[in-house]
Chain A
């Protein structure tokens, strides 16, 4: 049974507007590599120099991978991998 990837709005132009994609992989990085093969440009939106971007949240089922093993977090058949851009911002410090 494959892993289900929930694709955020901002990445859907890469996946031909598909919201959910089923794909095989043993850990988070493997899934991202396989997504990259099928949907070129996908990986660069999530990872730079082997590290996930701080403005992207990746969850396996209900767990943020930052509190697991990061990109090495293992996946089991039927798991869901959800990608959500962090929602953040705010005024800058008034020191310039």
Chain B
């Protein structure tokens, strides 16, 4: 199960809608081993495509180094599907390489009801998981978004 604050969900949705019809992507870091996403970092999609995304490798190196220095790991890796459902594609499965991460997909086509879904992907196996959203009345301490 992915437990995530609603502000992070809203930030992912806003980014995905803003980038539509280009696929959006990013990472939410959290303290290693905590399984709690807290610091959202939008990533540049170097593919700049409606059907593919790839983190900018240079930005990825800097972000991963920063996470290591802060004792964090990528708790959530997210991207949008701009004209299909929020289910991992063959390429999503091929590239999935963070066994501890929740892979979140945001559909931006209204016909897919904008329903965000979360998956674990390991060795080609996909397991969908529930998303538990923490509401606005709970503490927002520790949440941050990198501009």
Contacts and interface: CB of A to CB of B under 8 A. Distances in A.
B89 A91 contact: yes
Interface string B4-39: 000000000000000000010101000000000000
Given A9-B100, A94-B83, A87 B88 contact: no
A1 interface: no
A50 interface: no
Given A9-B98, A10-B97, A84-B64, A91 B84 contact: yes
B89 A92 contact: yes
Interface stretch (A24-32, A36-44, A57-65): A57-65
B51 A89 contact: no
Interface string A37-77: 00000000000000000010101001010000000000000
8 contacts: A64-B57, A64-B61, A84-B64, A87-B60, A87-B97, A90-B47, A90-B91, A92-B84
